Amino acid sequence: MTSGALTLTAEQLEQYRRDGYLIVKNLFSEQELAEIDSTFEGISKQTVPGYFEPDLSEETTDPLKRYPRVMHPHRFNETAKKYMLHQPVLDVLRDLYEEEPIAAQSMFYYKPPGSRGQALHQDNFYLKVEPGNCIAAWTAIDAADEENGGMLVVPKTHDYELSCPEEADVTESFTKHYVKPPKDNKPVPARMERGDTLFFNGNLIHGSYRNKTKDRFRRAFICHYANESATHISHFYRPLFRADGSMIDRENNPDGGPCGIEYEANYPH
The whole-angstrom distance between residue 222's C-alpha and the CA centroid of its chain comes to 4
Domain ranges across the chain: 10-45+61-266
| Contact of 198 with 192, CB cutoff 8 Å | yes
In order, the DSSP letters of 102-157 are EEEEEEEE---TT--BEEEE-THHHH--BSS-EEEEEEESS-B-TTBT-EEE-TT-
CA distance 228 to 247: 12
Q: Widest CA span of the chain, in angstroms?
A: 54
| Contact of 114 with 211, CB cutoff 8 Å | yes
* Helix %, strand %, coil % of the chain (to 5): 25, 25, 50
- What pLDDT does 6 receive? 78
Beta-carbon neighbour count of residue 58 at 10 Å? 6
For the domain 10-45+61-266, what is the CATH code? 2.60.120.620
- pLDDT values of the chain reduced to their tens digit, one per residue, 269 residues: 344 577 899 999 999 999 999 999 999 999 999 999 999 999 999 999 999 999 998 788 899 999 999 999 999 999 999 999 999 999 999 999 999 999 999 999 999 999 999 999 999 999 999 999 999 999 999 999 999 999 999 999 999 999 999 999 999 999 999 999 999 999 999 999 999 999 999 999 999 999 999 999 999 999 999 999 999 999 999 999 999 999 999 999 988 788 875 555 444 44
CA distance 262 to 142: 37
DSSP 3-state of 48: strand
One-letter amino acid for residue 122 of the chain: Q
CA distance 142 to 147: 12
Beta-carbon neighbour count of residue 260 at 10 Å? 10
CA distance 218 to 229: 34
pTM (two decimals)? 0.94
